[in-house]
Amino acid sequence: MLFPKMILFDYGHTLLCEPDYDTLRATKALFHFIKKNKNHHMPEEVQACAQQFWKNLREPAVRQELELSQISFMRLLYEYLEIEFSVSWEEAEKIFWEHTTNPKIMPGAEQMLKTLQELSIRTGVISNISFSGKLLAERINRFFPGNQFEFILASSDYGVRKPCRYLFDIALKKAELSASETWFCGDNPTADIEGALQTGIFPVWYENHSEKNFFADTSGRIPEGNYLHICEWKEMTAILDRLNREGNEK
């Protein structure tokens, strides 16, 4: 296990969690901005249609490691239902996400990031998320105002999802580092751990159950390969402190 020059992070249930995720609540919030509803659909009807679209379109895309952006999904859904808004699609996306959940910082994440800064370890983010990278960056920067993330990559901006190696490769190119100099931390055994492994990045499987995980992987899959398995961030920072001391003693 080599001391990393950079550690990359997943977003959901790694840096922040969204334990009360509720898309019907978000759909109801959007209804305040409707200017035309030709067929007089109710929020519950829109939600039912969205769930069907999700099953027929987005779930197959996810299995193919492809991403459908939230704006594309919303345009398809609402234009199909002949509903028009008084705000732009970008504004509608923001309204929707802000009303889906009240995010919380994962336990110990703030101190962990501070420790990485003290150890001069660079940081970045790669997230599987349908919401735009702009919104993701705004949320992360709001909850971690002192962060030093060099880049925040959202799958919605690239059309592919982890474990697709392209996102990991792009991150390495942006960082101008080799895979052997980099760690990746995430909660999903397939997308995060196996995704990093296939790229040669050292993975950290962060499996913390202190908060409800709406998007938890329930497959029971155990990744194959060499990785660090932790339940609390202080476990990782303790290892990093040790590796740093050992390196300075040589």
| Tens of pLDDT, residues 29-85 | 999 999 999 999 999 999 999 999 999 998 899 899 999 999 999 999 999 999 999
d(CA 43, CA 21): 16
> What is the pLDDT at residue 210?
87
Mean of per-residue pLDDT scores for the chain: 95
Q: How far apart are CA 212 and CA 13, in angstroms?
A: 9
Contacts 24+ apart (CB under 8 A), 87-91: 87/33, 90/132, 91/33
Q: What per-residue confidence (pLDDT) applies to 219?
A: 77
Q: How much is the pTM? A: 0.95
Give the residue from 96, 82, 104, 129 showing the smallest Cα distance to 24: 96
What's the angle, vertex CA 109, arms to CA 239 and CA 134, rounded to 5?
125
Query: Is the pLDDT reported for residue 14 higher than 80?
Result: yes
Q: In what order do the strands lie in the sheet with 6-9?
A: 149-154, 122-127, 6-9, 182-186, 202-206, 228-230
Q: How confident is the model at residue 250 (pLDDT cuts 50, 70, 90)?
A: low
Q: What is the mean pLDDT of residues 82-109?
A: 97
d(CA 224, CA 16): 26
d(CA 243, CA 5): 12
Q: Which tens digits make up the pLDDT trace of 170-190?
A: 999 999 999 999 999 999 999
Give φ, ψ of 179 to 5 degrees.
-60, -35
Angstrom distances, CA of residue 177 to CA of 182, 183, 247: 7, 11, 19
Q: How far is CA 58 from CA 13, 22, 64, 134, in A?
A: 21, 18, 10, 21
Is 34 strand, coil or helix?
strand
Please check whether residue 149 is in contact with residue 175, taking contact to mean a CB–CB distance below 8 angstroms: no
What is the second-level CATH architecture of the domain 6-19+103-249?
Answer: 3-Layer(aba) Sandwich (3.40)
pLDDT tens profile 110-145: 999 999 999 999 999 999 999 999 999 999 999 999
| pLDDT at 221 (0 to 100) | 81
What's residue 86's pLDDT?
A: 98
**Per-residue confidence (pLDDT) for residue 25, from 0 to 100:** 97
